[in-house]
Structure 1
Amino acid sequence: MTVSVCMASHNGAPFIAAQLASILAELALEDELIVVDDHSSDATVSIIRAQQDSRIKLHQNINQVGHVASFAKAVSLANGDIIALADQDDVWPENRLAILKAALKPPGCLVAAGNFTDIDAQGKTLSLANKRQLKSADSQHWLTNLWGILQGQRPYYGCAMAFKRTLCDQVLPIPGYVESHDLWIAMAGNINKGMVHLDASVLAKRQHGTNVSSQKRRPWQKIVISRLGMLAALITLSIRKLRRGHA
């Protein structure tokens, strides 16, 4: 199974070189790394081009469109059988892809989501209190997982996920109101009864204060709006699933 790694970059110069190196070390010659740069104003694009690796396919947005739209564009350009998502500032451990590919091998498995360790800007391991973890025992609890997403209780992170390309006709296009491509894809996996949780850590996630996925709690008004958006996403994906079944 070939792999397409999809990354959205934006002003990621401090960490992206290390992340690119860790990803390329995991890829086979027939795999690809699609990077959609969201109009960076720093040296990000130059660092990507300096890799001089034919597996990297760089696309630059003329205007800044946001990380969700950039990830969606990257996924739309993917050719691999398996699509793995990657943030610009993390580090992939050895055998990450082997673990995710093995989890997706059974016919009914569509999305695999793992856990991660946390590192600081210098790469030192962090121990965060009260950190939620995915559990493999919850993989087939589809309704519970969907309810957990709506409540903000399921720690699905795109950077620790991979999914089969066959799911693209349901997850694309991503509506403009969706603020988290991670949860959008996780919803699709659970709606199709194809979500697999991994107990293993498949990522070293860098915490440096400017992450897109912030650990800070938002005001309740924004939380309400976010939950309504996720409910709309659930309805949209369910409708798309029904249409796929009748196609």
Structure 2
Amino acid sequence: MAAPSIDIVLASFNGERFIEQQINSIQSSLNYQTLVRRILVVDDGSSDSTPSIVTKLMQTDSRIELHGNPGPAHGAMANFAFGLSLTRAPYVMLCDQDDVWHPSKIDKSYKAIVDSDVNRVALPRLVFTDKRIVDESLNELYPSFFDFRNISRQWHSSIEQLMQQNVASGCTMMLNRPLIELAMPIPNNAFMHDWWLVLVAKLKGEVIFIDEPLMDYRQHGNNTIGAQNYSWRYLATHMTHHLDKFACYLWKSADQAAELNQRFSNSQIEQSAFANLRRYAYFPRLWLFAKGKLRQHSWKGQAALFVTLLRNNKRI
């Protein structure tokens, strides 16, 4: 087998509760020794024992490295972007500090992306997977994130849909080198690093979905937003708060789509209603919704989108 070709970028911040278990799950992965070059732990200024835990693990595994994010930008997107700047590996996986990887995650992701790379043009490629949702103690809450959120397995097949709603979680991704070289640097107008990466891959290369949960996505006090599915009753009680959040989400994702067009000058994006959403006045935006040009993958999302467009009666 060829020399190890995968770097894992693990972003950390005050992750002392779970980071050792996460790194242990990576080390226990199938073909870890032959496939993984480095685990790059990129810390964003932890004030707990996260750095000392990683330093301890480094003593028994030379693949582990600890890097501090020097800034000036901080937060998840900036931290992952800094981690990506540290690697020159042919393939890179992104990793959160509080999940647990299944033994086959690395191996299956690697085979999927290598099978696509072999004997073909070196296109930018991204592989992502489903994930199992668990509680703090790793008890299963939902066997599939896609089933839980009622997400179409084909949503990622359309760049127009991907611009409006991301379904590829960074913690499930593997990227190839051509994608990293093309997508970096991640622009300030990106909504989030993983969303930007999958958009670039879809626009300029290939996105591959493994329809299998290959990791446990842990839900705890600081990490519940990614897998919540609010009831209608809850949403009605907190409607104003959630509509304000959705409006922020909508316009920021539209700005990201416009940034994608500016970076790559693609005719498909130039003609996209969503990428040009800020240029439309009030009634044309409602007409775009009526024609199905603006959409979310769930009925709740569609309802929030419609009410948000109704509320925003001025050109933004």
**TM bracket (short chain):** 0.7 to 0.9
Q: CA deviation at 1:62?
A: 4.3
Match of 1:112 among 127, 132, 145: 127
State the AA in 1 paired with 2:190.
V
Whichever structure has more helix as a proportion of its residues is 2
TM-score, normalization by structure 1: 0.85
Listed one character per residue, the Cα deviations across residues 163-219 of structure 1 (whole Å, up to 9, x for unaligned) are 101212211111122231111110011012311111111211111131285446562
Q: Distance in 2 between matches of 1:93 and 1:109?
A: 25
Q: Which has the higher contact order (CA 8 A, sep 6+)?
A: 1
Q: Distance in 1 between matches of 2:124 and 2:150?
A: 23
State the AA in 2 paired with 1:227.
S
**Alpha-carbon spacing, 1:15–1:173, altered in 2? closer, same or farther (3 Å):** same
TM-score, normalization by structure 2: 0.68
**Alpha-carbon spacing, 1:212–1:10, altered in 2? closer, same or farther (3 Å):** farther
Asked whether the equivalents of residues 190 and 256 of structure 2 are also in contact (C-alpha less than 8 Å), the reply is yes
Q: Distance in 2 between matches of 1:210 and 1:193?
A: 34
For the residue of structure 1 that corresponds to 2:211, the secondary structure is: strand
Report what 2:275 is aligned to. Answer: none
Q: Distance in 1 between matches of 2:19 and 2:7?
A: 18
Match of 1:220 among 234, 246, 269: 246
State the AA in 2 paired with 1:147.
E
Match of 1:67 among 65, 76, 80: 76
**Alpha-carbon spacing, 1:45–1:132, altered in 2? closer, same or farther (3 Å):** farther
Asked whether the equivalents of residues 134 and 197 of structure 1 are also in contact (C-alpha less than 8 Å), the reply is no
Match of 2:194 among 162, 179, 182: 182
Asked whether the equivalents of residues 155 and 167 of structure 2 are also in contact (C-alpha less than 8 Å), the reply is no
State the AA in 1 paired with 2:163.
L
How many residues get paired? 234
> 5+ residue gaps in structure 2?
118-122, 229-241, 267-316
Q: Distance in 2 between matches of 1:125 and 1:54?
A: 33
Report what 1:149 is aligned to. Answer: 162
Asked whether the equivalents of residues 124 and 177 of structure 2 are also in contact (C-alpha less than 8 Å), the reply is no
Report what 2:291 is aligned to. Answer: none
Listed one character per residue, the Cα deviations across residues 116-164 of structure 1 (whole Å, up to 9, x for unaligned) are 00111111111277424563x666x3xx2x2222322x41100001010
**Alpha-carbon spacing, 1:89–1:134, altered in 2? closer, same or farther (3 Å):** farther
| RMSD of aligned Cα (Å) | 2.3
